Amino acid sequence: MFWNLPTLLTWARIVAIPLIVGVFYLPLPAADVNMWASVLFVVVALTDWLDGWLARRLNQTSSFGAFLDPVADKFLVCASLLILLEVGRVNAMVAMVIIGREIAISALREWMAQIGASRSVAVHMLGKLKTAAQMAAIVLLLYHGDLGFVGLPVDAQTLGTWLIYIACGLTVWSMAYYLKKSLPDIVAKAR
């Protein structure tokens, strides 16, 4: 279905992306901007889990929802990385690797679906680990402050930077995994 609760949550995730970016242009103290951006990102990212859970729970899964959900995720990650790049909190090469992988794997999945081999690029645990590290890193990099309130002796930028580099490594590894797994189908179809 095009208009059910899970799909509306996915649409809300897409609509909320300009809010996360827009916070950085408000005339607020930097600490407030960082806090609002990180809170908004967490809330928006949680709708990804919620829409999937609701779709299964309410038996409202749809092919449109299955298409839109990863698109919303990629928009959220790419927009967040671009704003982090603009404010100097993430390395350009890291952002390019992560965004490039998202585009490449999306294209690979679309092509594999067209040739009837989508199982070879089904979501794998490696991709889930990449996503977890990436999301945690983005939250920390958006926050960009002291983590003393949670008892950690390190600031969010340092921890976020480490996590984004880990996510970048997992990004390359998972892309290689998906390409290797789909290679037999690619070769078979090329003949």
The tens digit of pLDDT for each residue in 27-46 reads 999 999 999 999 999 999 99
Domain ranges of the chain: 1-88, 91-191
Residue 96 has pLDDT above 60, yes or no: yes
For residues 129 and 48, give the distance between their C-alpha atoms in angstroms, rounded to a whole number.
Answer: 16
- Cβ-in-10-Å burial (0-12, 13-18, 19+) of 145 comes to middle
Q: What is the pLDDT of residue 76?
A: 93
Q: Which helix (H) or strand (E) holds 36?
A: helix 30-57
Residue 113 has pLDDT above 90, yes or no: no
pTM for the structure as a whole: 0.88
Tokens of 84: 């982090």
CA separation, residue 47 to residues 90, 126, 164 (Å): 25, 22, 22
pLDDT band at 69 (very low <50, low <70, confident <90, very high): confident
Q: What is the pLDDT of residue 49?
A: 84
